[in-house]
Every structure is written in structure tokens, then in C-alpha cells.
Amino acid sequence: MKKNKILMIVSHFYPEGSIVEAKNNYLTLLELEKSGFEVDVCTFESQKEYPVNVKYFVPKKNKIFSIKNRYYSFFRTKIKMPLLPIEFNYRKDFLRVIETINMKEYGYIYTVFGNGSEHFIGKKLKDYYPHLKHIAEFRDPWIHNKIAKDYFYDRAFKLYAKYYWKSLESLQCKLISTVDLLLVESSYHGLLIKKDFNYNRDILVCNGYSNLFLEKDFELDIEFGTQPIIGFVGSTYYGYDNVAKTFIEVLEELEREGINFTFISVGNNFFSNQAQSSPLKNFYAFHKVPYLKALAFMKKIDIGFAMTMESYPNHVNSKIFEYMQYKKFTLAIAPKDGAMDKLLSQNQTGMVLSYEKKAMKKELKIFLKNFINKTLTSQQIQEFNREEVFKPIIKAIEKL
């Protein structure tokens, strides 16, 4: 067994799959390698070319009982019995591939919660191979994920939703009791886990930006007019539409009052859908574009924009770290004193706006009237560099 050898088990790995998670998994691998670990990856097979570390491929079949199967999903919707957010119908397929691997070579397994619960594959492997140390990265806040919970409850019979959400809590509790190192997306989420599961070990935060993403820059041959340019690059999720709608209404009122700005949105989101109907003059919407082109839009903007629901204080939009990577100040609509507020306001890397329309308008008007170039300095964002973020994580892994 090599003590410094890690098997990473993930659904998504760059350049395939859910972009944010796939890229984060790749960046994690780079940080681990830089610290002297050997990392092999087990993920879904792809027609795209993976980095050399991806050694084990899981065939992705179009299963009948799968959240990806549109007919099955349609049927479940009609009878109001949706799948749980963590149901993962490829667990056996992953285990079948892993059975062919000499697990005695590895000292650690690293799993990330994404399309389904890869963590439970990690738990099963620990049962088979007690020498393994399990590092589990909770990129989504599980039972504290307000978006997933509301979506699940709104589409299910109440008794069904209540019963299965309780079972989700039970599953998370069993998993947490066996994990050797727990990583989360925000310190706020870590505090909730400690409180709800009586967890008394260290929980470390794994979010941050990286300078290791060495893809060729995509040049964007496009210019926008009135400055400052506010940009939303990404998707809006279930429950965000009302927040986005209020923001657009505030922008419309400010524009009528002669306040200068340009707003652009990139991706399949509420803002792009409003492009045709909104009276905003300086509003440009671009539907889904390749990831590197989306990053090129980020370089063109002056201010990044992010948001979450008022009832979801522990959530952090990963896009704020991409804005940081390009040293962009972030405007966010997020709960005061929540996870995003602590990251932005307290570090002067961004500003959190109120949810109430009148207050939001007043805050945004003052901000835009007094706008000076808000480019961040390296010193301001250094603590959010994944190189810094991963230092305590690397130490914790070595201690295992």
C-alpha cells in the first residue's frame, strides 16, 4: 500500500459532466498532486479526452430507473413521487469497476457528492477495506439544501416527502459517523453539521478559486457600452426567479432615473429569458455558451452578480470564486450574516443587497452613483486561493 495514493471517485470530471463540479474535482486533483499525493480517478466514461489521471471508467447506460430517464421522471412527476436528491442508480456500476482495482494500493478514497451519492460507494469500500481513509467532500449542503428540499416537497405528497426526507437525514447521519475527514462548501454549513449531528471533529472548507486551471484563454471579440458592466454568468435554480425578477425591476427603475450601467447575463437563466420582454436598454443576454467562452465574458465585466434565496443562508454560489479569479467585485442578493455575506462583505470582495425592493434600489443606486473601478487586489483574495484553502486540508489528510 502506498500511503500517499488516493482514489478519487466522482460522477463528473473535467471536461465532462456538470461544469462547476467537474472543474472543482480537477482542481482538487491538481492541489493534491502538488502536495505530493498520487491521484487516480474513477468516473463515467466519456468521448472527451480526460487527463491521464482518469484510469477507471464506468459505462453510463440509459437506465429505466434513473433520474436521467425522461419517461421514468415524467411518470414519477405524475404520481407525485419524485426521486430523492441523492438517489444514485449507478452505485453498482461503480462498485463493479472498483472490484477490478487492487484497492490495497491506495491509502485514501476521496468522494464528492454530486449527481448521486458517491459517498456511499466510499462507505461500502471502507467496509471491504478497513485500511482506507475516507475523505468526503460535501459540495451540496444535503439536508440543509433549501433548494433541493423545497423542490422535493413541492413535487411530492406531503407524507411521502416527510418520510423520505427523514430517511435522507438518517443516511447522512450513518455516513458522517464513518467518514475520516469531512469537507464542506462553507463554514456556515460546517456549523450546521456539528449542531444537527453532534459532530465533534474538525470540518474543513474546500471552496476557493485557482490559478492552476491552465486552459487556453478564449478571446471574446465583443464590447459593451455604458459602464459599469454588471454580469451574471451561470444558471438560476429553483426558487431564484422571484429574487431575479425583483433585481430586474430595480434595474429598470434606476435606468429610467438616468443611472448608468450595463447588465449582461450568460447562460440558460431567468435573465436570459427576460431579454425580450424587459424594457432595459442596456441589457444583453447570451444563452448557453461553452465554459471557456463564459469565462471570457467574466473578464469583460466590471462587477459579478450572484444570488440565493433569503431562506438559504448557508449557501455559497461557486461563481463568486470565479469572479475572484478575475479580480471582479461581486454584488450579491443573499441573507445578511449568511455564508456569502461573510465571504464578501467582511473581506471587502463584494457587497450584499437587501431582498426588499425599496431597500435594494436605495443600496444599488448609491453603489452605482459612487462606482469607481472595483478591481480586487491579490492581497484581498489570497485567502480564497485554493492553494491556501488546501493547506489545512493537506495537513489533515497527512494526519490520518
Claim: this prediction has a pTM higher than 0.75: yes
The answer on 252 and 169 residing in a single domain is no
Relative orientation angle of helices 158-178 and 187-197, to the nearest 10 degrees: 100
Distance, CA of 365 to CA of 367 (rounded, Å): 5
- Quick one: 23 and 171 in the same domain? yes
- The answer to the question of residue 214 being in a domain is no
Residue 133 lies in a domain: yes
Q: What is the pLDDT of residue 232?
A: 95
- Angstrom CA distances, 220 to 81, 288, 289, stand at 45, 15, 12
The verdict on 180 and 49 lying in the same domain is yes
Q: What is the CATH number of the domain that holds 152?
A: 3.40.50.2000
CB atoms within 10 A of CB 93: 17
Which positions of the chain have pLDDT values less than 70? 1-2, 17-18, 62-73, 115, 213-217
3-state secondary structure 347-395: CCCEEEECCCHHHHHHHHHHHHHCCCCCCCCHHHHHHHEHHHHHHHHHH
Quick check: is 305 in a domain?
yes
Predicted local distance difference test score (pLDDT) of residue 63: 59
Domain assignment of residue 344, yes or no: yes
How many separate domains does the chain show? 2
149 and 248 inside one domain:
no
CA distance 86 to 200: 25
Q: How does pLDDT run across 10-48, given as a tens digit for each residue?
A: 999 988 866 788 999 999 999 999 999 999 999 999 988
Residue 23 shares a structural domain with residue 104 = yes
Residue 263 sits at φ, ψ, to 5 deg, of: -120, 130
* Pair (52, 196) in one structural domain: yes
- Shared domain check, 179 and 158: yes
Q: Could you list the residue range(s) of the whole structural domain that residue 58 is in?
A: 5-208+386-399
Tell me whether residue 250 is in a domain.
yes
Q: Are residues 87 and 185 in the same domain?
A: yes
Say if 215 falls within a structural domain.
Answer: no
Predicted pLDDT at 44: 93
Q: How many helices (H) and strands (E) does the chain have?
A: 15, 13
> Does residue 223 lie in a domain region?
no
pLDDT attached to residue 1:
57
The confidence score (pLDDT) of residue 201 equals 93
194 and 343 belong to one structural domain: no
Given this model, what pLDDT does residue 244 score?
94
**Joined grid coordinates for residue 261:** 450601467
Judgement on whether residues 150 and 241 belong to the same structural domain of the protein: no
Judgement on whether residues 363 and 311 belong to the same structural domain of the protein: yes
395 and 345 housed in the same domain: no
Is residue 222 domain-resident? no
pLDDT value at residue 263: 96
Quote the pLDDT of residue 72: 64
**184 has which bridge partners?**
138, 205
Supply the pLDDT for residue 117: 87
Phi, psi at residue 57, to the nearest 5°? Answer: -115, 135
